[in-house]
Amino acid sequence: MPDVTEEQLWSRTSFVGFTTIPRTLSLILQIIDSLDKKTAGRVYLDLWCRAFDDYVVEIRDECEAAFSSGYEGQRAIRTWRERLDVLERLGFIRTRKTPHGSYRYVLVLEPHQVIADLQTQGKISEEASLALKPQLLSIGAIKD
């Protein structure tokens, strides 16, 4: 576009704050939220943005993590922890806690495999499955 300068565009080669995400992430988040009926998708997005190539996220400050996921106020950490529990129950993450109960490490698992398992269990709607399949084909995550 002629009226946009280089400075107005995000360039991953100019910054260190970037991560690789699957093109299917928006659908993954929608599926998580449809299964949770709450807002666990936003926690998953924040975890993904914090993950590097080993996909282990170290939680040093639960308050900051909760705020970054969109939760504020007295119940922020509690709500954030509840959403982590949902993500773990669904199979999207695995967690390790400190001896005093705070979350310390979160492993972000391969979401397409998790969704495939959930589909086998009949937990994913047909509409979501139909929307996801062409994207999975286009990125090579499944073969037709």
CATH number at residue 75: 1.10.10.10
- Within a domain: 3: no
| Domain extent for 131 | 22-136
Each residue's pLDDT tens digit, 7-44 = 888 777 777 777 788 889 999 999 999 998 889 999 99
Q: What is the pTM of this model?
A: 0.88
- Within a domain: 129: yes
What stretch of H or E contains 97?
Answer: strand 93-97
Residues 6+ apart with CB under 8 A from 42: 29, 69, 70, 83
Three-state SS at 138: helix
Each residue's pLDDT tens digit, 115-142 = 999 999 999 999 998 898 888 888 887 7
- Within a domain: 88: yes
- Within a domain: 10: no
- Mean pLDDT to the nearest integer, 65-83: 96
**HSE-up (13 A, CA, CB side) for residue 25:** 15
Question: What are the percentages of helix, strand and coil residues in the chain, rounded to 5?
Answer: 50, 10, 40
- Total number of domains constituting the chain: 1
Looking at residue 97, its amino acid is K
pLDDT above 90: percentage of residues in the chain: 60
